[in-house]
Chain A
Amino acid sequence: MTTETLIWLIPLPPVLAFFLIVLFTNKSKVLSHTIGVGAAIFSWLASWYVFWQATHVEHLGEHPFESAINWLPTGNTWLKIGVLIDPLGAVMLFFVSITIFMIFLYSVGYHNFGQPKGDHDHKGLPPHGATVEEHGHKHVVPSVEPMYSRFFAFLGLFAFGMYVLVVSDNLLTMFVGWEIMGLCSYLLIGFWYGKPSARNAAVKAFMTTRIGDVFMLLGISYLYSVTGTLSFREIFTEETLHMLAENTTYFGMTVSGFIALLLFIGTVGKSAQWPLHVWLPDAMEGPTPVSAMIHAATMVSAGVYAVIRMFPLLTADFHGHELTTTMTIVAFIGAFTAIFAATIALAQNDIKRVLAYSTISQLGFMIAALGIGAYVAATFHLVTHAFFKALLFLGSGSVIHGMEHGVLHTGNHDVDPQDMYNMGGLRHKMPITFWTFLIGGFALSGFPLITAGFWSKDEIFADAFGHGHMAVFVTLAFAALLTAFYTMRQITLTFLGEPRTKEAEHAQETPWTMTAPLVVLSFFAVTFGWVGIPEDFLGLRLSPSWFHEFVGGTLAEHPEAVVFSWVPFLTSLVVALGGLTLGYLVYRNLNSVSEDRLQIPFLKNKYYFDEIYDAVFVKPIYWFSENVVYKFMDQGVIDGILHIFGPTTGGIGSFIRNKFDLPVINRFIGDGSADVTYWFGGKLRAIQTGRVQQYLMFALVTFIIIGAVLYFFVLA
């Protein structure tokens, strides 16, 4: 099998798993998770094989793996769809496949496979625990998820969407994968649909990302109408880009800039950038593997991936000095989101919500990097972030799981197992989770030299500083300081010190299916950074950065590596270590929420963005729907018109029935013809005597009459 064929096949196993589970194996938990995890393994192996092949091709950027077929006839031409693996796609496959596989494996443990059925568990609600008798006394243990199979099916479809997006060679199938993920995020965030909060979060995520998607679709249509193609390889040719950059359109922007902006708005929705960031924290209502899926492997990565993919379009009218309008907007939104979300994360007490805001903030880093043209740095941070953020989410799920165990043990269900102030001292109870979480947290903070997060963040700083984008540089540096601070706060509150509740004392390490993915991901959270060490780091003459060489080859023009400078390096050292130390010092001895000085209502309530949106958009739209659309348009105008039609047609109908159908058709034609036939029959029966001689007589008379008539009228 050629590599191209294999690339076509990569997305298939998860979607097959989806259909198999939904249609056939949903009754069996073992079969369902075997198929789900098995599919993830297949795709993972295939992806890594393709990645391996890709690293062995000289100048992969110019000769990528590609294969296309004719799909939709468009007049004289065809809309082609196909697969394309260039360096960027290969790197995406590398981290997406392993992360998805780990998340699948983790879900087995997370949903308590092998545990008894719950005492009063309902579909659509998280499992409450089951009572078992052991050694003569009863105690409560975690119970298995009631909709276990459904979860693996949805997860499979989610993975399919991401794979489709990564291997696509054109915007249309990319958008299809993008929308499949939108659907799956809706299904999975609302997985526990019995909870009103989960339902609302699902709808919110769907609606918010949809806003972005509409603009993205506009961008795609515009691009197609201008260039007549959606294939990346055809759009990113020099002539096309030149043509797009030369012409101007609305608001004095160039066509390329305008299209890039429209596509970017799709990313703002998908990757939860300000001002469409509101859905991502609420998405924490879904099960933790889903959070990890959304935050690391699939959805938000897809948003950033789309901008990275469209980078040639974004920078088509960029000449290397002044940022273009679109790039300024992108850089501003990214940098602003980074600092904005980081400040909110400071005041959150829910272990997953801190991570959610952290994701928004880190995505801001990537977007800002793209805005200032730092293509490789953004990609690098995307990959490292996927590893450590998946690690952190799965770690937090493991913590919550351990805490739930404590809650079931004490039976006190008032204790929120996700509130960090209920934790503390978990490092002894859950050592594997602690160490892996520490690695992930340090990677997120950018702990120097060892962790992957340091290298990728440092590259963004170096790029921003090296190209003189000081505003972005300072903003991101401050955001990075906050990141280190709240990460250390999280680690300190969760794992260090003494247990603050009985439940934390009784927390327990989670099964191997959950810890094994943590270990694997923490390996990558550390080592993946080493593939991107800059060439002249600290003035040393190291070998060229593999990542830079490889991913940089995607672009027609190989991006120059930034010259090493001490300022960004020292800055990232200071912000990372400073933030971590500060976080530890402040939260080391904190025992209750009241002592936390950062619990400012303004931050805790996320700058009241939900409330503002509610007042500015949601309420007016409700009012508009209720009064204008429902009461005026629907009930007044439309129903009014319909009410004219109803009685009128009814009247015409009964008129026709009474005046025409009944008297004319029924009585005259209908009954009349039958009567006539009956009368004739009655008369004619008299001549049928059965006597041959009479018949002959009739025949003779008839013959004579016909003969006479013929003789007189025809012959004469």
Chain B
Amino acid sequence: MVPISWYLIFAAALFCIGLFGVLSRRNAVAILLGVELMLNAVNINLAAFWRYGNVTQMAGQVFAIIVFAVAAAEVAVGLALVISVYRRRNTVVADDIDMMKW
């Protein structure tokens, strides 16, 4: 069996890519995609720990499914927000959306 560290390294790499995407992309949709990547990294961890831990317990899989469900819901809301912002300000560039400023 592949050692668990490989999964963890892979998941960490994926998480960092996602984080990098969230922090550095200008397009709001791309930022959303970055978030999805980070969630996926978490899911890999959950599945890996489940497989290497107590297999009879379903907790890891159930957690992963909940994360999927939340991610889907999040994307729906996120896209709705992006569309709404685009309609009002005619842009989806994150740097231009500075309404939280004081």
Contact = CB atoms under 8 A, between A and B. Distances in A.
Interface in B48-102: 94-95, 97-102
Nearest to B101: A690
A700 B101 contact: no
A688 B97 contact: no
A691 interface: yes
B31 interface: yes
Interface string A691-716: 11101110010000000000000000
A649 interface: no
Contacts of B94: 691-693
B14 interface: no
A688 B31 contact: no
B99 A696 contact: no
B13 interface: no
A690 B31 CA distance: 16
B23 A690 contact: no
B22 interface: yes
Contacts of A597: none
Given A697-B23, A700-B23, A692 B97 contact: yes
B95 A691 contact: yes
A689 interface: yes
Interface in B9-59: 19, 22-24, 31
Contact of B23 (A685, A689, A693): A693
A242 to B, nearest CB: 98
Contacts of B97: 691-692
A696 B102 contact: no
Nearest to A691: B98
B101 A696 contact: no
Contacts of A690: 98-102
Nearest to A685: B102
Contacts of A695: 100
A601 B24 CA distance: 127
Chain B residues touching A, range: 10 to 19
Contacts of B22: 693, 696
Interface size class on chain A is 10 to 19
Contact of A689 (B19, B31, B101): B101
A694 to B, nearest CB: 9
Most buried by A among B19, B23, B24, B99: B23
A698 to B, nearest CB: 11
A693 B34 CA distance: 12
B12 to A, nearest CB: 14
A65 to B, nearest CB: 89
Contact of B98 (A689, A697, A700): A689
Interface centre among A688, A689, A690, A692 (most CB of B within 10 A): A692
A479 to B, nearest CB: 107
A688 B99 CA distance: 11
A693 B31 contact: yes
A692 B31 CA distance: 11
A695 B19 CA distance: 13
Contacts of B31: 693
A277 to B, nearest CB: 94
A693 B31 CA distance: 9
Contact of A688 (B19, B95, B102): B102
Nearest to B26: A693
A692 B85 CA distance: 14
Nearest to A697: B23
A688 B102 CA distance: 7
A397 B94 CA distance: 111
B4 to A, nearest CB: 22
A697 B99 CA distance: 17
A10 to B, nearest CB: 83
Interface in A649-692: 685, 688-692
B67 to A, nearest CB: 20
Contacts of B101: 688-691
Nearest to A695: B100
A692 B23 CA distance: 9
Nearest to B102: A688
B19 to A, nearest CB: 8
Contacts of A685: 102
B15 to A, nearest CB: 12
A692 B102 contact: no
B83 to A, nearest CB: 17
A689 B97 CA distance: 10
Contacts of B100: 690-692, 695
A692 B93 CA distance: 12
A692 B35 CA distance: 13
Nearest to A688: B102
Contacts of B23: 693, 696-697, 700
Interface in A580-598: none
Interface string A425-469: 000000000000000000000000000000000000000000000
- Name, among B19, B22, B24, the residue most crowded by chain A CB atoms within 10 Å (CB to CB): B22
B46 to A, nearest CB: 21
Contacts of A696: 22-23
A466 B91 CA distance: 134
Contacts of B24: 693
A693 B102 CA distance: 16
Contacts of B95: 691, 693
A695 B31 CA distance: 14
A436 B24 CA distance: 125
A197 B101 CA distance: 89
B58 to A, nearest CB: 32
Nearest to B96: A691
B28 to A, nearest CB: 9
A695 B95 CA distance: 12
A693 B19 CA distance: 11
Contacts of B102: 685, 688, 690
Interface of B: 19, 22-24, 31, 94-95, 97-102
14 contacts: A685-B102, A689-B98, A690-B100, A691-B95, A691-B98, A691-B100, A692-B94, A692-B97, A693-B24, A693-B94, A693-B95, A697-B23, A700-B19, A700-B23
- Interchain residue pairs A-B with the least CB separation, the first 5: A690-B101, A690-B98, A690-B100, A691-B98, A688-B102
Given A693-B31, A700-B23, 16 more contacts: A688-B101, A688-B102, A689-B98, A690-B99, A691-B94, A691-B97, A691-B98, A691-B100, A691-B101, A693-B22, A693-B24, A693-B94, A693-B95, A696-B22, A696-B23, A697-B23
